[in-house]
Structure 1
Amino acid sequence: MLSGAAAATAVATVGALIVESPVESTPTTPDNWLTVGGAADEQSLPGIEALRASVEPVVADPDVVDAAALIKAAGLAEVRAEQEAAARETARCRSDVAEFGPVKPWVARAGGLLRCEFDIATVGGVAQRASASDHPRGLAVDFKTDRATGDALAQCAVDNMRAYSIKYVIWRQRINHGNGWEPMEDRGSATANHVGHVHVSFHARTGSATLPSC
């Protein structure tokens, strides 16, 4: 064993002896960068929510079906279909004026409208009558009907005299030239007194381009 003097000489000869103390390294963990300097609240770190939003999957909100809206849409579609079907049937009905015979065009238009509007099954147009009648000239139409329907049809014709180019209306032994109903003489029979049919006479001129309904 070397003495104290010998040991000093050895150190001087060999050189300075460097003694290093072991340094404990800080373990690195996947979350180490989040906890430098001690534990921290994740929610307080800047940008953490944005980072999460960028990596977390986004779940789409489920589609919400409005049952009431669907029922309403279906109902409207059904109503439109019914209206279109009714319009087609009305157009077909008004164009079918063969029963009127060769009446004037405006008579056929107005007569067709009235027949379809009040669902009249039996009508009469051109026919031989007394010399004072408008039937032989194609300027009159008869609508065979019951009391209630006849009342409504006759009033419709009176209300639209100008548009339909109507001269007068006879119904149940009364006549109307546009100034109210007036009684007529008894002609001897229900048919001659127009009890079962409405008689509509027209002017020898066209009416409005668009005919109003009742």
Structure 2
Amino acid sequence: MARHHSPRDRNRQPLPSTHPRGPGIRSARRSAVHVLLLGHAAVATTVATAGTLTVVHGDVIPTFHENLLAASSAPEDAALGLSGLRASVEPVAPDPEPFDPAALVKAVSFEHARAEREARAREAAAERARCQADRAGFGAVKPWVAQAGGLLRCEFDIATVGGVAQRASASDHPRGLAMDFRADRATGDALAECALDNMRALSVKYVIWRQRINYGEGWEPMEDRGSPTGNHMGHVHISFDSRPSGTGPASC
């Protein structure tokens, strides 16, 4: 039995297929595949719709190979970023100073010289203390006289010293207030000047040397006593105050 087709049905246009086919669609798909397979990145130049594929002008479509590289390098990039951040905040150790052996030798030499100076100073102080404690030849002089005599004898290395002694004329020797220091001209000059410079510290009353006398106000000539010894040509005579007047340590 033949089907009846109304005139309306005969004149109706066929509906478009929801699954596009045909050479145009296949060409669009091939173009899309071609775009996806372009090496590094593909840049679309047209807007085409083929089924569910839409390519927009100016977009960059990463390739599958590019996606794999990005996924594999993500941990490495993170590690590099972390190390770079750490390097930017952590302090950088300075380079060590170059070693200078000359400076070390100089420092050691300086320290050695300083130690030697200190050792010599200690030895000199100990020797001076032993020398001043030796009162041989002083006799029963007054304590402040013995102290001054010990200092002067040791300072100028005087071998012969006279303290208490009897004299025919008026003298401070019998009372333990005078001392004689045998010396040559140069040593005698220095010893006499030292005693005069420290008159208060050593309780010195006056000094006689080479037929001159000095009370602290300059040298004055003396009368001739008839002999080199009487005129004090070979020894320095120092008379001391009857009471100590020392105000501090003497320094020659």
1:9-158 alignment to 2 at 5 Å?
26=68, 33-34=75-76, 42=80, 45-48=81-84, 50=86, 64=99, 66-67=103-104, 68-158=106-196
Asked which structure has the greater CA Rg, the reply is 2
Report the AA paired with residue 83 of structure 2. Answer: G
Q: Deviation of residue 26 (structure 1)?
A: 5.0
Q: Deviation of residue 131 (structure 1)?
A: 4.1
Report the AA paired with residue 129 of structure 1. Answer: R
For this pair of structures, how many residues does the alignment match? Answer: 182
Q: Deviation of residue 209 (structure 1)?
A: 5.3
**In structure 2, C-alpha distance between the alignment counterparts of 1:62 and 1:96, rounded to whole Å:** 57
Are 1:169 and 2:207 counterparts? yes
**Identity %, equivalent residues:** 58
Are 1:208 and 2:246 counterparts? yes
**In structure 1, C-alpha distance between the alignment counterparts of 2:219 and 2:201, rounded to whole Å:** 19
- Structure-2 change in CA distance of 1:139 and 1:32 (3 Å): same
Question: Please, what TM-score do these two structures have when normalized by structure 1?
Answer: 0.73
Report the AA paired with residue 104 of structure 1. Answer: K
Report the AA paired with residue 134 of structure 1. Answer: D
Q: Deviation of residue 50 (structure 1)?
A: 3.2
Task: Please provide the CA RMSD for this pair.
Answer: 2.9
Report the AA paired with residue 172 of structure 1. Answer: R
Deviations 1:144-187 (A, max 9, x none): 00000101111111121122111111000001111211111111
- Structure-2 change in CA distance of 1:63 and 1:107 (3 Å): farther
Q: Deviation of residue 207 (structure 1)?
A: 2.7
Question: Please, what TM-score do these two structures have when normalized by structure 2?
Answer: 0.63
Gap runs ≥5 in structure 2: 1-63
**In structure 2, C-alpha distance between the alignment counterparts of 1:116 and 1:126, rounded to whole Å:** 19
